[in-house]
């Protein structure tokens, strides 16, 4: 198991370097730079513009800027924002709990509905329920997040008035953000109704962000269950007179969870990428919204550091999935 783990950890090193290089090149390929954005249409003297570019190191060749950035990473420093002048790491830690709260609720929503729907579709293979579920799953996985988010806001917030449009909690409540997780902070708040307000603000973003993982998990669960239900040990369990629920839940679902676990781990990347659009649509003050604002301001340190931190998180989750897969199926280790 140790050799298996070391091989997976070794693969992270070139991946980390590749992500750093790709993020650096893509960010610098965008027209404009932080100085031009800050100056705007008013403009300044060319001498002052050249001085500012020199202070930020933007007058250096790209290869020199990349090497300087790698040297900075080697010291454990991600840089500071060119706009707020705060450390990228500090800003990330401040906003990351909001993204984790949204992504975690979206994943819970996808698992609670996706697993049982996939199992029922596999058990009722070929029925109207099966075909209907698969059709809805394909539709859910195909809908663009920006369109789906605007539609649910138009229906449930604007037309019906059931849920808030944006934010994490109503302005009527003062919640001290001591943990960064609004559900926890509002729970310990003295304001009555703060928890319900936080939950109501979380409903629509959770549904929008969790729709694609929900569809993917349901389809994968159905496929894995159909494969397992045709195995010999399932027929043996039924021949022994075990109840259908025990055969499906204990024997079939347990073995079908191996590919599902892999898909759940891979969905972390889609949740974080989808959170960028979801947070922008619902004005959710998380890392995704932070990165979008950094793109508009050409805040290079924030874009590079934020992209690198999110990529590192995805790589860590994938490593955890690989290790979990190795425990579930020992043949994978070799």
**pLDDT number for residue 169:** 86
Give the helix/strand (H/E) hosting 218: helix 194-229
For 80, the token pair is 């500071």
CATH homologous superfamily for the domain 90-288? MetI-like (1.10.3720.10)
Residue 5 to residues 17, 208, 218, 266, 316, Cα–Cα distance (Å): 20, 35, 30, 18, 12
Low-confidence ranges of the chain (pLDDT < 70): 1-2, 4-5, 32-33, 36-45, 49, 325-334
Q: Residue 179: name the closest of 188, 170, 169 by CA.
A: 188
C-alpha separations of 273 from 5, 77, 135, 187 in Å? 27, 24, 24, 29
Radius of gyration of the chain (CA): 24
Give the per-residue pLDDT at 230. 76
Pick left, alpha or beta for residue 193 (phi over 0 → left; psi -120 to 50 → alpha; otherwise beta).
left
For residues 96 and 215, give the distance between their C-alpha atoms in angstroms, rounded to a whole number. Answer: 26
- Backbone CA torsion sign across 254, 258, 259, 261: positive
- Nearest residue to 183 via CA among 170, 166, 164, 199: 199
Distance CA 169, CA 205 (A): 13
What confidence score (pLDDT) does residue 303 get? 86
Q: Among all chains, which residue has been given the structure tokens 């922008």?
A: 280
What does the alpha-carbon distance between residue 193 and residue 28 come to, in Å, rounded to a whole number? Answer: 46
What is the model's pLDDT at position 207? Answer: 92
On whether the CB atoms of residues 269 and 8 are closer than 8 A, the answer is: no
For the chain, list the strands marked E by DSSP.
none
Number of H helices, E strands in the chain: 14, 0
Angle between helices 300-328 and 287-297 (to 10 degrees): 150
Instruction: List all residues 6 or more positions away from 169 whose beta carbon is below 8 Å from its beta carbon.
Output: 175, 182, 186, 194, 197, 198, 201
Q: 138 and 215 in contact (C-beta within 8 Å)? A: yes
Judge contact between 321 and 261, C-beta under 8 A: yes
Q: How far apart are the first and last CA of the chain?
A: 9
Query: CB pairs under 8 A, 24+ apart, for 192-195?
Result: 194/169
DSSP secondary-structure letter at 284?
A: -
**Residue ranges per domain, the chain?**
90-288
**What is residue 332's predicted lDDT score, i.e. its pLDDT?**
57
């Amino acid at each position: 198991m140790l050799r298996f783990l070391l091989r997976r950890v070794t693969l992270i090193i070139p991946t980390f370097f590749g992500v750093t290089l790709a993020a650096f090149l893509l960010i610098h390929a965008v027209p404009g730079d932080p100085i031009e954005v800050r100056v705007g249409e008013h403009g300044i003297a060319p001498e002052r513009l050249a001085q500012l570019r020199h202070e930020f190191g933007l007058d250096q060749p790209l290869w020199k800027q990349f090497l300087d950035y790698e040297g900075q990473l080697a010291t454990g420093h991600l840089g500071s924002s060119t706009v707020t002048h705060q450390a990228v790491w500090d800003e990330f830690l401040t906003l990351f709990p909001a993204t984790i709260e949204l992504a975690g609720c979206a994943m819970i929503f996808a698992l609670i509905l996706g697993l049982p729907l996939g199992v029922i579709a596999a058990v009722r293979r070929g029925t109207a329920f099966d075909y209907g579920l698969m059709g809805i799953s394909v539709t859910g996985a195909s809908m663009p997040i920006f369109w789906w988010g605007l539609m649910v806001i138009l229906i449930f917030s604007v037309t019906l008035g059931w849920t808030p449009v944006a934010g994490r909690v109503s302005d009527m409540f003062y919640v001290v953000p001591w943990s960064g997780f609004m559900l926890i902070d509002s729970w310990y708040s003295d304001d009555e109704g703060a928890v319900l307000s936080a939950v109501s603000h979380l409903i629509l973003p959770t549904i929008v962000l969790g729709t694609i993982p929900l569809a993917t998990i349901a389809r994968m669960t159905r496929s894995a269950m159909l494969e397992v239900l045709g195995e010999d040990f399932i027929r043996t369990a039924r021949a022994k007179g075990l109840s259908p629920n025990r055969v499906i839940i204990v024997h079939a679902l347990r073995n079908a969870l191996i590919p599902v676990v892999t898909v759940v781990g891979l969905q972390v990347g889609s949740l974080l990428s989808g959170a960028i659009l979801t947070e922008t649509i619902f004005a959710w003050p998380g890392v995704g919204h932070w990165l979008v604002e950094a793109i508009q301001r050409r805040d290079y340190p924030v874009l590079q550091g934020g992209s690198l931190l999110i990529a590192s998180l995805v790589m860590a989750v994938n490593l955890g999935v690989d290790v979990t897969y190795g425990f579930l199926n020992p043949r994978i280790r070799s």
